[in-house]
Amino acid sequence: MKVEIVDWQAVASWHWDLKDDSITDELCGICRVAFDGTCPNCKYPGNECPLILGAGCQHNFHLHCILQWLEQDTSKGLCPMCRQVFEFRKDFNTVTKDINSLLMLIDGHKSMRDREVDEEFDSFDDDLRMND
């Protein structure tokens, strides 16, 4: 029998290698794409856009998705799903530029919050003085 190959298509499947497999089945809460798919800003999944695993809470996101959210002032540095202060697990092999930006954004929001608390205390002091 002679077999002639008329056409062929290469198929590759891609999968995050995580200790906890259940996470890769989840959807990113921001773009609603499965973690095995790419975020809307990336053509291919991979280390440029790793999963960011929540540390304070249990919510996970594509790096670029959570980065874009925390760039918004209105995010106030909070997790979009549960509105707790967003922190993430920092066990990466390589810390890319985008991971660094994420760290800086989270710090920025933290100092904004600290400043607001200070201002509240200041105005509280003013109120006390006025009542004297």
Partner 1 sequence: MAALPKRIIKETERLISDPVPGITAYPDEANLRAFTVTMNGPDSSPYEKGIFDLELYLPDDYPMCPPKVRFLTKIYHPNIDKLGRICLDVLKDNWSPALQIRTILLSIQALLASPNPDDPLANDVADDWKKDEPKAIEVAKEWTAKYAKAKE
Residues that bind partner 1 (CB under 8 A): 29-33, 40, 65, 68-69, 71-72, 74-75, 78, 80-81, 83
Sign of CA dihedral 59, 63, 69, 71: positive
The 86-125 site mask, x for binding Zn ion (CB under 5 A), equals ----------------------------------------
**Tokens coding 19:** 């200790």
CA 15 to chain centre: 19
Q: Which range touches Zn ion (CB under 5 A), out of 2-10, 18-26, 48-56, 120-128?
A: 48-56
Choose between 8 and 44: whose C-beta lies nearer to partner 1. Answer: 44
Does the protein bind Zn ion through residue 66 (CB under 5 A)? no
Q: What are phi and psi of 15, to 5 degrees?
A: -155, 135
Identify the H or E element spanning 70: helix 63-70
Which of 82, 48, 84 minimizes the C-alpha distance to 67? Answer: 48
Q: Which range touches Zn ion (CB under 5 A), out of 14-22, 80-88, 96-104, 121-129?
A: 80-88
